[in-house]
Amino acid sequence: MAKITYITSDNQTHTVEVQNGLTVMEGAVQNDIPGIDADCGGGMACATCHVYVKDDWFNKIPKKEDGEDDMLDMAFEPKTNSRLSCQIIVSDELDGLEVNIPSKQA
Amino acid sequence: MKKTDALIIGAGPTGLFTAHQLKLIGLDCEIVDNLDKIGGQCIELYPDKPIYDIPAVPECTGEELTNNLLNQLKPFDIKFHLSERVEEVKKEENNWLVKTSGGNSFLTPNVIIAGGVGSFEPRKFSPKECEKFENKSLFYSVKDKNIFKGKTISIFGGGDSALDWAIELSKESNVNLIHRRDEFRGAQATVDKMHALVKDGKINLFTKYQMANVHGEQTLESIDIKHDNDEIKNLKTEYVLGFFGLIMQLGPIANWGLNLNKKTIEVDTEKFETNQKGIYAVGDICNYPGKLKLILSGFHEGALAARACFKLARPDEKYRFEFTTTSTNLLKRLGKKE
């Protein structure tokens, strides 16, 4: 279980508890947090669950695997701290993680 | 205007199997899809990824599934209208009048939306100002490469489309290639070729840059690109090309008076009919209690929607349930019996 904070582009903060093993994307979708579309349902095939990970967390969470950066090329306004939230798996170590949701997914 | 018993929007697996079910029970149908090829998400998003949960098919790729569905449709004559988006659906007495972006119009009692998560559209540049030049000097695909001869073109993207066009256009134009990181996801041979052209001064490469702004009154004059470290560079350019792949957008469906829930359409589970009589939604785009976004669910939903279409297309006939194993009627339609 980890407390994860999602910050939408209008600066609304949503903090929810997400079960270990789920993805950060699933945590948002299950809790009706706006701004994460996840069109492809977690298949790393659409780049519509794009988030920015706060800098101090970016290096702590598991690294990107092959293909994630290729998808991020297509995301809306990618930055150096961009991730696909469907590829970040929640664990106790992620307790306190904060992610910013971009103003649009496309 | 074309008359048909049912019009299917979307040529993904659900749309294809729904067509099979309609033809099997003796109804006509035509299919419209915004993509230039048949297969929907299976072809566009994961043609090579194996799927393991199609009943009786232990493993197949998106492309194989599409080809198998097309094989299953072989006995039937079905018209596809590809690269066309349905723009308008309007009530006309007991029928729906459907108009597409390709100038086709259909009159039909039944419209089946098998639209996945919407139609695939090119992903666009984020600065709002870019819209002003869209389809004039800023494009997301190349229709006529001759207009670029002798001009300066700034190409954005890191995949094969961006690389192929950068290489091709560098023969007769001045090309800037701009990408958000140093790595390119195109085929290695293409990436190598691009780097060779950069060395020869035929392509100006800018990595870790993204589009920041466009300048110009009537015509595009220059663009600003922004580095990861916030440094901004101004590039004189006459044309801009952006290749960021495709995204699914609900598009005009939102304007047809249907009950929407987020990006899905509410249906009943008997006919998969929407709140509009004669408009059905099946596959990923429909929503009802317990909905599973699986291809197998789409097949079931399409089969039931097809039976509902029968009532509106043949109001004076009674639908009779039959099996393909035994029914002479069905076997004739399948071309298995004279």
Question: In the block, which residue shows the tokens 């990006």?
Answer: B263
| A–B CB contacts, 8 A cutoff, strictly below | 53
Q: How far is A47 from chain B (nearest CA, A)?
A: 9
Give the C-alpha separation, B149 to B303, whole Å. 52
Q: What is the pLDDT of residues B234-265, one digit of tens each?
A: 999 999 999 998 888 888 998 999 999 888 99
Give the C-alpha separation, B52 to B260, whole Å. 30
Residues of chain B with confidence (pLDDT) below 70:
none
**CB-based contact B272:B304 (threshold 8 Å):** yes
**CB-based contact B43:B325 (threshold 8 Å):** no
User: Which of B296, B312, B330, B336 has the alpha carbon at shortest distance from B65?
Assistant: B296
Would an 8 Å CB–CB cutoff place B45 in contact with chain A?
yes
Q: What is the pTM of this model?
A: 0.81
> Phi and psi for B191 in degrees, rounded to 5?
-60, -45
**Domains, in order of start, for chain B:** 2-121+247-333 (3.50.50.60), 124-244 (3.50.50.60)
Q: What is the pLDDT of residues B151-174, one digit of tens each?
A: 999 999 999 999 999 999 999 999
Residue among A33, A36, A39, A77 with most chain B CBs within 10 A, to mutate: A39
Q: What is the pLDDT of residues B270-306, one digit of tens each?
A: 999 999 999 999 999 999 999 999 999 999 999 999 9
Q: Do A106 and B245 touch (CB under 8 A)?
A: no
**CB-based contact B247:A37 (threshold 8 Å):** no
- Characterize the bridge pairing of strands B86-92 and B95-100: antiparallel
Q: Is the pLDDT of residue A106 over 80?
A: no
The CATH number given to whatever domain includes residue A21 is: 3.10.20.30
At residue A31, the pLDDT reads: 95
* Domain of residue A62, residue span: 2-100
Q: Is B303 helix (H, G, I), strand (E, B) or coil?
A: helix
Looking at the DSSP assignment, which residues form a beta bridge with residue A10? none
Would an 8 Å CB–CB cutoff place A76 in contact with chain B?
yes
Residues of B in contact with A79 (CB under 8 A): 228
Does A31 reside within a domain? yes
Domain count, chain A: 1
Burial of B64 (0-12, 13-18, 19+ CB in 10 A): middle
Would an 8 Å CB–CB cutoff place B264 in contact with chain A?
no
CB atoms within 10 A of CB A7: 19
Residue among A74, A76, A82, A103 with most chain B CBs within 10 A, to mutate: A74
Residues of B in contact with A37 (CB under 8 A): 263
HEC states along A7-45?
A: ECCCCCEEEEEECCCCEHHHHHHHCCCCCCCCCCCCCCC
Give the C-alpha separation, B279 to B309, whole Å. 9
Q: Do A73 and B123 touch (CB under 8 A)?
A: no
Rg of chain B (C-alpha set)? 24
